[in-house]
Chains A and B, each alone.
Chain A
Amino acid sequence: MATLTHDMLDAAALTAALQRRDCGTVLAFLGTTRDHHDGRRVTQLAYEAYEPMALRELEALEREAREQFEIEACTVSHRLGVVPPAEPSVVVVVASHHRGPAFDACRWIMDELKKRVPIWKKESYAGGGEEWVSGTKLES
């Protein structure tokens, strides 16, 4: 189930939720905020979304991943609002019988998320200043 939340993402709970008797793999990917970008020190990132559309797109990614890869379950959770460095902004969890499809599906989900989901992030820098991170134009 896809989630957008302003709360801290609990990767352990999200991972435990997909453990199943028929799966030999539960793969968790955490996208964490970095404290530097192009040589500048980043003090925080702030995320914003067009929430109803973003949630639908995250749900579509989960559905398409289950159709395209031999996986049994997956969840995508994205945090919004201010995220301090080192905290996860996104958590993808994939459960599959064997590990190969889980790795493939996880990479595909993250690549598609960055191209398709209306979410934006803005960096704040030590010493002042802030910038929207350059992104990818949505294609209809």
Chain B
Amino acid sequence: MQLNVLFFAQARERAGAASATLTLPDGSCVRDALDALALEYEGLAPLRSHLAVAQNGVLVRAGDALRDGAELALLPPVSGG
């Protein structure tokens, strides 16, 4: 499966990119995506435990299944207002 990954704020700066394409085996879950991204972007590792993840704009948990073609957003702690 292929995912369109979006990085925001600290995640964007640490990854050195605003977006990336990620290819994973079918049946992968959110945790698998984070594992693969932490390997590819070492700078993300210290931020990992603080990240929330949204799939197609909806927050998901580590064990949730990924959908082929989904948009996966890495969201650091929020500070709006």
Q: Which residue numbers of A lie inside 8 Å of B, CB to CB?
A: 31, 47-50, 52-54, 56, 78, 89-90, 110, 113-122, 132-140
Is A118 within 8 A of B81, CB to CB?
no
The smallest beta-carbon distance between B16 and chain A, in angstroms, is: 16
Q: Which residues of A contact B59 (CB under 8 A)?
A: 138-140
- In the bound assembly, the distance between CA atoms of A120 and B25 in angstroms comes to 32
Q: Which residues of B contact A135 (CB under 8 A)?
A: 76-79
Q: How large is the interface on B (under 10, 10 to 19, 20 to 34, 35 or more residues)?
A: 10 to 19
Is B75 within 8 A of A132, CB to CB?
no
Q: Which residues of A contact B78 (CB under 8 A)?
A: 114-120, 135-136, 138
Is B77 within 8 A of A56, CB to CB?
no
Nearest B residue to A138 via CB reads B52
Question: A120-B79, A134-B79 known; A140 and B60 CB under 8 Å?
Answer: yes
